[in-house]
């Protein structure tokens, strides 16, 4: 999710997307300005790391075959029963700016359940919790940079806003890619195609570039379907370059 400049327009006022190519003829979806980016800014001056130059890049996550198992990527098999909701398979590739696969990367996923509630003590949404769904998983990319998760499609949930009292967040998945050091961690969000809530979402609309917003939306991919089990969505994560996936702090 990119928390960069939000639209200054109101919910009821039309505006054009400033984008080249086929997206230029579309109207830019509107939402109230997203103020969370301001609240997330550090309030204290940075603290310099007491490490030799470059050492921080050498102290990152190191994983062996026993640390991340294939079962960690199946969020529907983490409890004794089946979670409620529509089962989905989400897969794609982690790539660098030149389109090369990024191998052995830790990819984490977390999400709300099918009713739109997180298993978090701070989530006070009146939707029910699912005793068979925790909402968190992880996977390592293979030699082609591919990752794959099985989960349930999350539900929408209310998003209290000072600008609009009846805002709802569209269903989305949170993703994290660690890189080779913790300082390189990328955190972003994936959305679902054809969602009618997207035009009204201040976080999605905080991405100023229309093409970058579209890259946060997954593509339905029947090749990822599991027969009689789950629907498939493809979503690639690009770490740098002009097609980079937007993060919480922009690009």
118 is catalytic: yes
**Integer CA distances (angstroms), 122 to 118, 119, 125, 173, 225, in order:** 9, 9, 9, 18, 34
The one catalytic residue in 117, 174, 213, 215 is 174
Q: Where are the beta strands (DSSP E) in the chain?
A: 87-95, 106-110, 136-140, 146-152, 157-158, 168-169, 172-177, 186-191, 219-220, 231-234, 237-238
The one catalytic residue in 34, 118, 147, 233 is 118
The one catalytic residue in 28, 117, 153, 169 is 169
Residue closest to 109 by CA, chosen among 158, 74, 145, 155: 74
What's the rounded Cα separation, in Å, for the pair 194 and 213?
A: 13
Q: Where are the beta strands (DSSP E) in 81-236?
A: 87-95, 106-110, 136-140, 146-152, 157-158, 168-169, 172-177, 186-191, 219-220, 231-234
The one catalytic residue in 37, 93, 172, 213 is 172
- Whose tokens are 């969602």? That residue is 195
What's the rounded Cα separation, in Å, for the pair 174 and 144?
A: 22
Identify whether the C-beta of residue 238 lies closer than 8 Å to the C-beta of residue 95. yes
87 is catalytic: no
Strand 237-238 versus strand 106-110 pairing type: unpaired
The one catalytic residue in 147, 157, 200, 233 is 157
28 is catalytic: no
Annotated catalytic residues are 118, 157, 169, 172, 174
């Amino acid at each position: 999710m990119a928390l960069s400049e939000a639209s200054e327009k109101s919910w009821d006022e039309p505006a054009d997307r400033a984008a080249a190519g086929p997206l230029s003829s579309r109207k830019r979806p509107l939402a109230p300005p997203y103020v969370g980016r301001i609240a997330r800014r550090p309030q204290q001056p940075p603290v310099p790391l007491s490490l030799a130059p470059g050492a921080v890049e050498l102290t990152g996550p190191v994983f062996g075959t026993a640390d991340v198992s294939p079962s960690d990527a199946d969020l529907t098999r983490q409890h004794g029963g089946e979670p409620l909701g529509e089962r989905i398979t989400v897969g794609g590739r982690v790539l660098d700016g030149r389109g090369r696969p990024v191998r052995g990367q830790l990819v984490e996923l977390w999400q709300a359940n099918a009713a739109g509630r997180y298993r978090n003590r701070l989530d006070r949404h009146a939707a029910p919790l699912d005793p068979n769904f925790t909402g968190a998983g992880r996977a390592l990319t293979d030699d082609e940079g591919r990752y794959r998760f099985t989960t349930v499609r999350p539900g929408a949930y209310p998003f209290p806003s000072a600008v609009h009292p009846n805002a709802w967040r569209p269903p989305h998945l949170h993703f994290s890619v660690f890189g080779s050091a913790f300082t390189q961690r990328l955190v972003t969000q994936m959305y679902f195609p054809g969602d009618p809530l997207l035009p009204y979402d201040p976080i999605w609309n905080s991405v100023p570039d229309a093409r970058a917003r579209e890259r946060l939306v997954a593509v339905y991919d029947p090749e990822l379907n599991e027969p009689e089990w789950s629907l498939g969505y493809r979503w690639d994560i690009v770490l740098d370059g002009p097609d980079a996936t937007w993060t919480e702090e922009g690009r």
